[in-house]
Structure 1
């Protein structure tokens, strides 16, 4: 199965409107490592971010959201965002999707485009976790509380059922 890619076109007014970029998702191993590094950088900042766990990887990053970068030391934030932006290529001619090149700083003329493109790249890497986020939260709560969850095949007595 190929690594997922999305093409995005700048919707905002300004010099970048209509420019097309292709974002390629990191490999699972690289994305998990990047996610853990993001969480570790936020934790090291001392910011109080609810639900933040150092070893949660990309799933933990998805739960916290892109705002996590605001809690980091600027140098670490810049490095992690630069690593994320390595996933972005430019499609200089929208009529020829086969022609792409690495993103260069000069490709972005408007400041809002930078944040928009970072948000799009972040979303590609974490959006698939949003649907299962409540499941992770429930599982985490059960594991931390010590409550045992019956296996699906476990017999249940009728006295345990509430009618």
Structure 2
């Protein structure tokens, strides 16, 4: 079975409107290596993955990781962000097909812009959109949906914990043994 792929055409107003990009899924090995570097960087930054994120499964873990990226140092974040874009290429002309695989358009690596000139991506919003699409292709859910799922799970678990706490606040869950006539009451 071949790796997943997705063509994204930018429709938002701006300098990137109409540009198309191809996202190809990374190998399982590359995905694991990237995820491990993310978790290690988050640990180094002192980020704990909350219990409710862990119980929400991979969606919760990814959402917690995404929301914690701002705690990473630039030295830790930049290689991870660059690697995300490593599976994205630009499609200069959607109508031109790769002669080796006519199902695929001709692509090329993205040229990065800088102080010396413009690259293929000229809008910050395009970078955000492409990174979200990369995440969605690789883990099978959208970043906004993951955040929404984590928030809903958090609210539900808080409600359940609150009602359990209120019910048990007035009584202990341990069975009380009757004291024999010979036993003395002690306080500790």
Q: TM-score, normalization: structure 1?
A: 0.68
| 8 Å contact from structure 2 (residues 49, 65) kept in 1 | no
List alignment gaps of at least 5 residues for structure 2: 98-104, 113-118, 154-188
Q: What SS does structure 2 have at the residue aligned with 1:41?
A: helix
Give 1:10 shift.
1.0
Give 1:59 shift.
6.9
Q: TM-score, normalization: structure 2?
A: 0.60
Aligned CA-pair RMSD: 2.7
Kindly provide the CA deviation profile for residues 59-105 of structure 1, in whole angstroms up to 9, marking residues without a partner as x: 77535253332221111111001011100010011222521001121
Is it true that 1:92 corresponds to 2:92 in the alignment?
A: yes
Equivalent residue for 1:153?
Answer: none
Is it true that 1:80 corresponds to 2:80 in the alignment?
A: yes
The within-5 A match list for 1:8-87 is 8-51=8-51, 61-87=61-87
Moved over 4 A (4+): 58-61
Q: What is the distance in 1 between the residues matched to 2:127 and 2:7? A: 16
Kindly provide the CA deviation profile for residues 116-152 of structure 1, in whole angstroms up to 9, marking residues without a partner as x: 111111221122697xx99xx9xxxxxxxxxxxxxxx
| 8 Å contact from structure 2 (residues 91, 108) kept in 1 | yes
- Range with bigger deviation, 121-130 or 77-86: 121-130
Q: What SS does structure 1 have at the residue aligned with 2:133?
A: helix
Q: What SS does structure 2 have at the residue aligned with 1:107?
A: coil
| 8 Å contact from structure 1 (residues 42, 72) kept in 2 | yes
Match of 2:121 among 86, 105, 108: 108
List alignment gaps of at least 5 residues for structure 1: 138-163
Q: What SS does structure 2 have at the residue aligned with 1:8?
A: strand
Q: What SS does structure 1 have at the residue aligned with 2:43?
A: helix
Q: What SS does structure 2 have at the residue aligned with 1:23?
A: strand
Q: What is the distance in 2 between the residues matched to 1:124 and 1:87? A: 11
